[in-house]
Amino acid sequence: MIYNDDRPERIRGAIYLTTILLFILYQAINAFVPNADMIVAVRVLACSVYAAVIYVYGRDAWVAVSTPDPKRSDFLIVGIVLSFMSHFGQSAYAIAYRLADAPAWLLNAEVIAPVVILSMVAGVLHVTAPESIEGTVPRRNRYALGAFVGLAVLMLGVLLTTRPDVRPWIDRARPYIGDFWHTGEMNVGRGAPPT
């Protein structure tokens, strides 16, 4: 086994081991199960991991939010919980969307914006956390935050005024990002694939 009690844990080792195990497991099952079912399965498993993170950090985040003078690291703890609450909400929404057979009205439902906004609040907490780890990391960088938000507003303006049709690009990418194992139909609610 890679880890034992005598060796310190390594971040890269945890990343590698988790990635390799998930990739092998996913590919072994994906070879026999349609993509639509695999995506739902991955989303359900992701929700369980997100819920675990919320459970583990939730109490500390609640204490941090309710404390009048929080510690510097509390910014990151609250950011972690808000971020994973957003991930959980987005995955649960995606599961409901797929299980409901992709109704058009659900794609544009108002409920998704507040869930995404939670993730944005979490990001702001992470970027503006004042010297929260060992007094130096991360660097508080409100200028970078402002620059990226400004860039996003510019991109949003361009997208809303030009309304580019990206469907041809998406259709061309389909052979490369589609159903690798050809185990099932990927066109839930979209009709027949182009020939």
Looking at beta carbons, which pairs linking 54-59 to residues 24 or more positions away fall under 8 Å?
A: 54/81, 54/84, 54/85, 54/88, 57/81, 57/84
Q: How far apart are CA 20 and CA 123, in angstroms?
A: 28
Among the listed residues 84, 83, 91, the one whose alpha carbon sits nearest the alpha carbon of residue 112: 91
Tokens representing residue 38 in the block: 């695999």
- Digit-coded pLDDT (tens) for 154-186: 999 998 899 999 889 888 888 888 877 878 654
What's residue 53's pLDDT? Answer: 96
- Digit-coded pLDDT (tens) for 121-147: 999 998 888 777 777 656 656 788 888
What's residue 136's pLDDT? Answer: 66
For the chain, give the percent of residues with pLDDT over 90.
53
* 61, 121 contact by CB (below 8 A): no
- Digit-coded pLDDT (tens) for 45-60: 999 999 999 999 999 9
Give the global pTM.
0.78
